[in-house]
Structure 1
Amino acid sequence: MSIINAIDVSASGMSAQSTRLNTIASNLANAESVSSSEAEAFRAKLPLFESHRVNPSDPGLGVRVTEIVESKAPPTAVYSPNHPLADPNGYVYKSNVNTVEQMADMMSAQRSFEANVEVLKASKSLAEATIRAMGAK
């Protein structure tokens, strides 16, 4: 694998983790939202990743987001007859976002992003050292 391909693989990981972090931010922003029906309730979004070859002539595999899907977990029905959005039975429907899971996922995504930054830094240092060595000859 060439240094450029290592940089491409690292950049693909950073891009995927950035999408993951943005999705988590959206989920957390909507965690306390309520609606008047189960169908309208906010559902957590989940990015799906797949590996892919960043350069057809190189064995290095990167990662990309293929799609963002909604969680299948049902929203929570909360009895609140005085709420302005309550349905005829007195229920409002809270999003299915689990904030504890989202925070743990956010820490994981942040660490993955940072690991890719470190790989990028190491690749850059290696490229600079190679250029210096070639210039010294």
Structure 2
Amino acid sequence: RMNVIASNLANIETTHTKRGGPYRRKMVVMSTKPIQDFNKMLTLEAEGVKIDDIVEDQTPFRKVFNPGHPDADREGYLFKPNVDLVVEITNMLMATRAFEANVAAIKSTKQMALKALEIGR
């Protein structure tokens, strides 16, 4: 997810790609796989989220009047990527916080399992 966000940010001003048009924002499509067995949660077998696909955002490109730009159309308008800096930074922060929350949850689960083992002694 962070790699896709980084790619979007790196191409925020790319007006001409190999396919001919401006860069189109990419999005990660994820799905969840519920964990049924508690024992799997304590091992590396746990699979909670998987990436299904990386798709292109089909929202329209930003249209900017810039007649001197080589990629501008006949009327002088330049089509810029449909990447919004605020949205990408927000997504990056959300991904970071989600990762941090997952690490904290894993640590707590591990500590609870160790405490449960101590009780049984």
Question: Any idea what SS the aligned residue of 2:82 has?
Answer: coil
Counterpart Cα distance in 2 of 1:130 and 1:58: 17
User: What is the deviation of 1:41?
Assistant: 1.1
Structure number with higher relative contact order (C-alpha < 8 Å, ≥ 6 residues apart): 1
User: What is the deviation of 1:47?
Assistant: 0.7
Residue segments in structure 1 that go unaligned for 5+ positions in a row: 1-19
- Partner residue of 2:111 out of 118, 125, 129: 125
Aligned counterpart, 1:15:
none
Aligned amino acid, residue 91 of structure 2: D
* Runs ≥4 residues deviating over 3 A: 127-134
TM-score w.r.t. length of structure 2: 0.74
Counterpart Cα distance in 2 of 1:110 and 1:131: 32
Aligned counterpart, 2:80:
94
User: Aligned Cα RMSD in Å?
Assistant: 2.7
| Percent of residue pairs identical | 37
Higher normalized helix content (fraction of residues): 1
User: What is the deviation of 1:79?
Assistant: 2.4
Counterpart Cα distance in 1 of 2:4 and 2:110: 29
TM-score w.r.t. length of structure 1: 0.67
Q: Is 1:83 matched up with 2:69?
A: yes
Residue segments in structure 2 that go unaligned for 5+ positions in a row: 42-46
Aligned amino acid, residue 32 of structure 1: E
Aligned amino acid, residue 65 of structure 1: I
Counterpart Cα distance in 1 of 2:14 and 2:66: 14
Aligned amino acid, residue 15 of structure 2: V
Aligned counterpart, 1:106:
92
User: What is the deviation of 1:116?
Assistant: 0.2
Aligned residues: 113
Question: Any idea what SS the aligned residue of 2:33 has?
Answer: strand
